[in-house]
Amino acid sequence: MRDGRLKVAITGATGFIGAAVTNRLLQDGQFDVRAAVRNQASVLPSGVERIEIGNLTPNLDWNKTLSGVNAVVHLAARVHVMHDTAEGLFEFRRMNVESTLNLARQAAAAGVSRFIFLSTVKVNGESGVYTERDNPSPQDAYAVSKHEAEIGLRRIADQTGIEIATVRPPLVYGPGVKANFRALMLAVRRGIPLPLGAIRNRRSLVALDNLADFLLTCIQHPAAGNQTFLVSDGEDLSTTDLARRLARAMGRPARLIPVPAALLMAVASVLGKRDLATRLLGSLQVDISKAREMLGWTPPISVNEGLRRAANALE
């Protein structure tokens, strides 16, 4: 710590979430930020200390990254991949479990006081209304690996005294978002008619800026240590409402056709797209009461503002 400033090391600092967290810490002005990156090609903002580590492996030496650090924000991971095999589970465990626990052990040995671990709501399950008290029910290799990492981190905390804060976000959206969310935005912007006008599900989302703010809160707040938190924007949307709000954010008409959800699911199943249809049509909600009450945290931006920022950055 220098002049009361915390030194924070971030893994995955150049990724979708990592870049936002890095910028949020810099903007706050209370942190010295150190980023663990693969190589010289990784682009970082001015003012961030660079430590090149190569590829993330279970036996990586983190000594240079951890020296003098107060907190670690661990975002680097093997992310969710559709249709993974048993071999995929091995790779998820290697990257998301073994590599994470190796980093946490070395962080504890180096005197790091707090370790922030980005997990996923998929540890809770794929559909339903969740709180932190619910029994985990991971359904795929990615979620299983995150759950196993959480269990291992709790053991390390018990053995060493390092404080672990685990954060389980739902779908994260914002500037630079990829995959299905980007595809939906492009379809709305192009005025493509979508059969999403009669979907009455409820889904929790979290804007990138809200998640970055919450991770900063977990670094600083005394009560965040050795806790697990669900986080969201605090307002759940149906897919129909999401498409309409995206259209409004872009200044475009929402061309939505009211097709029954059951019919859409049946067609998707025939086409082998049931997983995608489940995410579009099913419900998944998180209760953020714990974050509000224990940490005094409220999402700093609204859903509408988050969607506007995502839409403005769409290329």
**Active site amino acids:** 142
The answer to whether 141 touches 80, Cβ cutoff 8 Å, is no
Q: How far apart, in Å, are the Cα atoms of 252 and each of 169, 186, 246, 264?
A: 29, 11, 8, 24
Q: Where are the alpha helices (DSSP H) in the chain?
A: 16-28, 63-66, 86-92, 99-109, 141-160, 179-189, 208-220, 239-250, 261-270, 274-281, 289-295, 303-312
The answer to whether 170 touches 203, Cβ cutoff 8 Å, is yes
Q: What's the chain's length in residues?
A: 315
- Residue 184 CA to residue 256 CA, distance in Å, equals 12
On the CB side of 184, CA atoms within 13 Å amount to 25
The answer to whether 23 touches 17, Cβ cutoff 8 Å, is no
Nearest to 242 by CA among 285, 190, 203: 203
CB-count burial class (<10 Å; 0-12, 13-18, 19+) for 65: buried
Angle 223-124-242 from CA coordinates, rounded to 5°: 95
CB-count burial class (<10 Å; 0-12, 13-18, 19+) for 40: exposed
Scan for tokens 């709000």, then name that residue: 245
CB neighbours of 288 closer than 8 A, spacing ≥ 6? 229, 230, 231, 232, 234
Tokens of 248: 């409004």
Nearest to 146 by CA among 214, 80, 210: 80
